[in-house]
Amino acid sequence: MKIKKISQKINQILYDEYFYFQCKGFCHCCDNKVLFYSYDSWLRDNFYCRKCFSIPRERALMYIIETKFPHWRSLNIHESSPENRGASTKLKNNCKHYISTQFYLNNELGKVVNGIRNENLEEQTFKNESFDIVVTQDVMEHVLNPDAAFKEIARTLKPGGAHIFTTPLVNKFKPSQKWAVLDESKKLKFLFEPEYHGNPINPEGSPVSMHWGYDIIDFIYNSCGLKTEIIYLDNLDFGIRAEYIEVLISSKI
């Protein structure tokens, strides 16, 4: 009883000190009426669904898949570098032909490593026209040769298919910038301030290789010929509100 009271007191202090915002709505990642809440003004990484702990960009991506490809459950979907929650979990649990891959450097491509198929987005072992949808969530800002990755994604898409993805367009109207490259000895070299994002399979995080702007559309077209639409959603009824949660759809005609 005493412990329970202490815990309630701590929760109250945290709430009083840090609570930022909450609202009720429908979560497209867990298909429930839920409470969305944030203990931080930076909603992008902190505006959680109380039921499935998804964040806004994941809910925005799932909403787009639901509306643009309502029959996604029966389609062939490839997700590179999935997350352990949100849209990845929903796709994995509900799509019969969903395959996820991770990239383990220095391991054979196309083989299973740590229970998941090892694929480098830049040189995939999948056959041409294998997938209806390719999903990447905050991956394209970490790829060292994004033109090769976009080209490979386009190659593996069936006609009528699409690459549906999120990547923070932090440069907005400014031109995209290469942020890191491999030097002559194949070592990572940052061109600006080193920057890393969290990575579910690597505690050291993933180095950021690109600062994308809205001109990513031209970059993709020049890389692989796919036309891309950028969709920015803002709908609190679905817990979708934050900076940099644009969903991009590159369609193969």
Q: Does 50 bind Zn ion (CB under 5 A)?
A: no
Per-residue binding string, Zn ion, 26-45, x by CB under 5 A, is -x-xx---------------
* Closer by beta carbon to Zn ion, 121 or else 240: 240
Instruction: Give every CB contact of residue 157 below 8 A, 6+ residues apart in sequence.
Output: 129, 131, 132, 134, 163, 252
| The total number of residues written for the chain in this structure | 253
| Six-digit token string for 243 | 């900076």
Residue 57: CB minimum distance to Zn ion, A: 13
Q: Does 60 bind Zn ion (CB under 5 A)?
A: no
Q: Does 87 bind Zn ion (CB under 5 A)?
A: no
> How many residues sit in the footprint of Zn ion (CB under 5 A)?
7
Q: Does 51 bind Zn ion (CB under 5 A)?
A: yes
Q: Does 49 bind Zn ion (CB under 5 A)?
A: yes
Q: Does 55 bind Zn ion (CB under 5 A)?
A: no
Residue 131: CB minimum distance to Zn ion, A: 25
Identify which range of 21-29, 74-82, 99-107, 187-195 contacts Zn ion by CB under 5 A. Answer: 21-29
* Closer by beta carbon to Zn ion, 104 or else 238: 238
**Contact residue for Zn ion among 43, 52, 220, 245 (CB under 5 A):** 52
Identify which range of 13-21, 47-55, 99-107, 144-152 contacts Zn ion by CB under 5 A. Answer: 47-55
Cα 31 to Cα 45, 61, 94, 232: the distances in Å are 20, 14, 12, 21
Q: Which residues bind Zn ion (CB under 5 A)?
A: 27, 29-30, 49, 51-52, 54
